[in-house]
Amino acid sequence: MYPLLDTINSPTQLRELDQKQLPQFAKELRDFLVESVAKTGGHLSSNLGTVELTVALHYIFNTPQDQLVWDVGHQTYAHKVLTGRRNGMSKLRMQGGVAGFPRRDESEYDAFGTAHSSTSISAALGMAVAAQLEGTDRRAIAIIGDGAMSAGMAFEALNNAGVMDTNLLVVLNDNDMSISPPVGALNNYLAKLMSGRFYATARRAGEKVLKVVPPVLELAKRAEEHVKGMVTPGTLFEEFGFNYIGPIDGHDLDVLVTTLSNIKNLDGPQFLHVVTRKGAGYKVAEENPILYHGVGKFDPAEGIIPKPAGKPAYTQVFGDWLCDMAAKDSRLIGITPAMREGSGLVRFSKEYPDRYFDVGIAEQHAVTFAAGLACDGLKPVVAIYSTFLQRAYDQLIHDVAIQDLPVVFAIDRAGLVGADGPTHAGSFDLSYLRCIPNMIVMAPADENECRQMLYTAFQLDSPTAVRYPRGVGTGAEIQEEMQALPVGRGEISRQGNKVALLAFGSMLAPCLAAAEALDATVANMRFVKPLDDDLVASLAASHDLIITVEENTILGGAGSAVAESLNSQQISVKLLQLGLPDVFIDQGDHAQMLADCGLDKDGIIKSVQSHL
């Protein structure tokens, strides 16, 4: 089926091909990716855009001795296929299968795990310095793109790398996109600057150029006059101390191979600017790269066919609430760090464009930007994944919490996230939020409670977080009317005997199911901070065993809050804490992952009976 691809299982075998065979090999590889991802789901358009670049890098460089650091990590499917994992792609992002991102424990060709973004230049620089200290000629190559250049960390690394005499190659995969449409002053400036100024070798690169170079114009300013005098994007990177080459067409293998071969013989920090098309070679993905960024299973011949609307996911519940709340209060400002689609802000961005801010992949900036808005009387809502908020922890503490500013954090993807695995799991937010003074932390048990909690958070004059899981909930009827909940108060959802299950957030449903078999009391705790101490004391006084259940790490989480409450009230009662174990939980089916952690109905029953 694939005459060339079927014979290649390693970069070593790839390098035995004649250069004239590479275009055919790239076409087979691209066709395989479409066929494979259509069966498993996964990231598609970003991977189709890096096929030729991946082939050229492995063809020229002596991988794995030469180290490729991919950034962002969801553009590495072609890399995985080329490095002996083609058969494993049938279980892509499944339990026991190939991960959707580079993982050091998966292959020697995965030099560095990169599932977030903007870390590649720092990591590759470390590898380049290590090679220099060891006296080896090993090369370190950072391939950065898909919006990753919009984060400050990338420029911190460039600033450091440019003054080091190391053999570092940075490849900017400029694919006209991040996950959401690109933003920023410098981005717009360079787009205008370079239109019509391609090298001849970039003849097939498309009309729009340089749409992912980041919104950080100030970093380019050595003086206002100097910036006004910039004539090519290379000036910016050369000011950092790099030898700039490009832009070149990232789909022209002859140009890529020749250019990379020449660069391989150069010493010092090199910067190669490559222009690619997201979704290249698959027409529907080229036309709608956002739709085909992350896909489920589909028919490659027909493309993605929209499914009838079912129960609204938590993300949609948030997006609808945001628009409804914005209609009631003109102070509301919506902020996202480059996750408009993923966080449910598409409708808000269209209905309230003047109050919508996509700040790029810059979580730290997003939080401090929100703090600045709050200082002047506005009511910012930061829509962010739990795993990405970790990147702005210092700003959360210093810029928001210490100043007790009314910023609402709508924290999506809390708990386990299934196929995206441990790098994207929201396993720690209850632990890292509840230890911060001035923070109020809520966990809704269903979709309607999520809407009411968001409204509650918006009414408060302090930093507040509402954390909710990925996907759909219980299907609870959502009340259009919004009412504030009493802060720090839970409620009894089922009355039973001897055993009390204290459920936090998404764990209410399995606790209620387990309680039928156990004849247990179930409390929907609602608030992790402030905790309902009175409810905890009441349940401890009337039950023999207290069990806390949360989709968060047990260490320092909601169960720990209950233990602290019992201790401070000098209450002695048997306590069992159920939650995520002290390990990074691998990718898989979400329901199965919960079952493996003992957080489904059967697991809860088994834990209680075993403890009793």
Distance between CA 25 and CA 59 in Å, rounded?
Answer: 12
Q: Which of 52, 341, 363, 551 is catalytic?
A: 363
DSSP, collapsed to helix, strand or coil, labels residue 576 as strand
**Main-chain phi, psi angles of 475, to 5 degrees:** 85, 25
What's the rounded Cα separation, in Å, for the pair 367 and 384? 10
391 a catalytic residue: yes
**Contact between residue 48 and residue 79 where contact means Cβ atoms under 8 Å apart:** no
Look-up of token digits 């409804």: 324
Both tokens of 439, joined, read 């923070």
Residue 304 and residue 310 in contact, taking contact as beta carbons nearer than 8 Å? no
Q: 3-class SS at 243?
A: strand
Rounded to a whole number of angstroms, the distance between the first and last alpha carbons of the chain is 59
Distance from C-alpha of 279 to C-alpha of 231, rounded to nearest angstrom = 30
Active site residue 340: no
CB 250 within 8 A of CB 276: yes
Tokens of 106: 């998966």
For 214, the enclosing helix (H) or strand (E) is none
**CA separation, residue 541 to residues 498, 502, 550 (Å):** 10, 14, 22
Active site residue 278: yes
Point out which residues pair with 412 in neighbouring strands: 385
Collapsed DSSP state (helix, strand, coil) of residue 174: strand
Got the DSSP string for 140-167?
EEEEEETTGGGSHHHHHHHHHHTTS---
The single-letter code of the amino acid at 431 is: S
* Complete DSSP assignment for 351-398: H-GGGEEE--S-HHHHHHHHHHHHHTT-EEEEEEEHHHHGGGHHHIII
Identified catalytic residue from 80, 139, 277, 391: 391
* Residues annotated catalytic, as ranges: 278, 363, 391
